[in-house]
Amino acid sequence: MRPGRVARDAYREALPALSASLVGGLIAGVVLGGMRGALADIPGLLVLVPALLATRGNVYSSLGARVATALHQGMITPRLDTVDDRLVQACAAALANGLLASAFAALAVFVSLSVLPALAAPAPLPGLVVLALVAGTLSGLTLTVVIVTAVLAGYRRGYDPDTLVGPLVTTTGDVFGLLFLLVAVRLTTAVGLLGGA
Amino acid sequence: MATTDWTIRAITRATLPVLLVLTLVEVGSGLVLGGFQSTLLRSPSLLVLVPVTIGTAGNLGSVLASRLSTALHLGLISFSPESEVLAGNALATLALAATVFPVVGAGAWALTELTGGARLSLPAVLRVAIGAGLALAVLAVFVALVATYAAYRLELDPDDVVVPVVTNTCDVLGVVVLFLAVRLLA
């Protein structure tokens, strides 16, 4: 194989998925842009954003890859009417790990902003943790449903589930991640856990 | 492969430690974002660029890493400057960045203009997006090569190690490079 041909094949294979995630990323950006007020009012919120988005990507692409491998190996059947117990366990594990990582991220943001004098002091810790947990629960439930349904349905129609998972998680993960972060900000502020914002 | 034992406990034991380490790394990139928060809040088009730049950088790295991992599994790869698989894939990554980042910049500017008015001019946003994108593509190639080579030498399964490490490293680099691009080019 000559480098030119390798490059052309790799380019053609990757462009559709990259374009799809570009659209998702831009929508996510507009949501983030719309949160400017909250970002200014809640110190630590912007610092939390990359960790929360990456957690969605890491947890749910691993869930998707797990379901894809199980389909390939015939461990689970591509149907949702008889839900396999192992599939339920895998989804529950993804949700639990996602929530643990989100709360851990909130704690790490709080500690580092309290220690680093160059950055603004963080919002109250309970507020940040509740915010991360609410956002993690809402986006986690949504992403679980979207990914499991899409991978099973895609497999039934003859798509390779391995190539579906990556673009699907990157397009939906950021959008739902930020949308539900916005919802979580509203809820957490409404119950008074984030100070006077 | 850790995929055969599907209990909450087994899955958690296999994934949570790595997940927590990656979360700390991402908090680090969040702190960089926090460092130029006031600039981002003043120019909404730069804020719109944040998720898409991080995401695209991570994707470029993970696509390259998973292709190199597969080539490694199949024994198609040799780590020498003359390797055609390495050179071809590196070239494709740069070409993909050159295709995608102008669209990222134009899209971010247009969406900001539509949703409330952009503060920066289109050329300024394009300069930031393209400058950051090309620098990130070069870094993604470097990170993916180093990680694949390390997995090969340490005999780790490249699928389990290379893709998450490269994706998250590129996420962090995405924020750092965006920060530098905003400082130098906006």
Q: What is the mean pLDDT of residues A172-194?
A: 91
Contacts of residue A145, defined as CB under 8 A and 6 or more positions apart, other chains included, come to: none
Cβ pairs A/B, distance under 8 A? 227
Query: Tens of pLDDT along A130-168?
Result: 999 999 999 999 999 999 998 888 888 888 777 778 778
Interface contact flag, A7 B95, Cβ < 8 Å: yes
Is B55 among the domain residues? Answer: yes
Is B93 among the domain residues? Answer: yes
Interface contact flag, B23 A104, Cβ < 8 Å: yes
* Reported pTM: 0.87
Interface contact flag, A32 B47, Cβ < 8 Å: yes
**Residue-level pLDDT at A129:** 96
**Between the ranges A177-181, B17-21, B50-54, B114-118, where is the mean pLDDT highest?**
A177-181
| Domains of chain A, residue spans | 3-190
**How many structural domains compose chain B?**
1
- Chain B: give the shortest CA distance to residue A192, in Å: 23
**How far from each other are the two terminal CA atoms of chain B, in whole angstroms?**
46
Q: What is the mean pLDDT of residues A68-72?
A: 84
CATH class of A3-190: mainly alpha
The chain-wide mean pLDDT, for chain A, equals 88
Contact residues on chain B for A34, CB-CB shorter than 8 A: 115
* ipTM of the prediction: 0.87
Contact residues on chain A for B6, CB-CB shorter than 8 A: 66, 70, 86-87, 89-90
User: Is the per-residue pLDDT at B2 higher than 80?
Assistant: no
**CATH code of the domain containing B114:** 1.10.357.20
Is B164 among the domain residues? Answer: yes
Query: Tens of pLDDT along B15-28?
Result: 888 899 999 999 99
- What are the φ/ψ torsions at residue B68 (nearest 5 degrees)? -65, -35
- In three state form, how does the secondary structure of chain A look? CCHHHHHHHHHHHHHHHHHHHHHHHHHHHHHHHHCHHHHHHCCCHHHHHHHHHHHHHHHHHHHHHHHHHHHHCCCCCCCCCCCCHHHHHHHHHHHHHHHHHHHHHHHHHHHHHHHCCCCCCCCCHHHHHHHHHHHHHHHHHHHHHHHHHHHHHHHHCCCCHHHHHHHHHHHHHHHHHHHHHHHHHHHHHHCCCCCCC
Is B8 among the domain residues? Answer: no
Rounded CA-CA distance A184/B64 in Å is 35
Is B163 among the domain residues? Answer: yes
Is B7 among the domain residues? Answer: no
User: Is the per-residue pLDDT at A81 higher than 90?
Assistant: no
Rounded CA-CA distance A116/A131 in Å is 22
Q: Do residues A127 and A184 touch, judged by C-beta distance below 8 A?
A: no
Best interface-test mutation with A: which of B47, B53, B157, B160 has the largest number of A CBs within 10 A? B47
- By Cβ distance, the residue of B8, B31, B55 closest to A89 is B8
Interface contact flag, B104 A26, Cβ < 8 Å: yes
* Closest chain B CA to residue A66: B3
User: Is the per-residue pLDDT at B50 higher than 50?
Assistant: yes
Contact residues on chain A for B171, CB-CB shorter than 8 A: 50, 54
Is B12 among the domain residues? Answer: no
Is B109 among the domain residues? Answer: yes
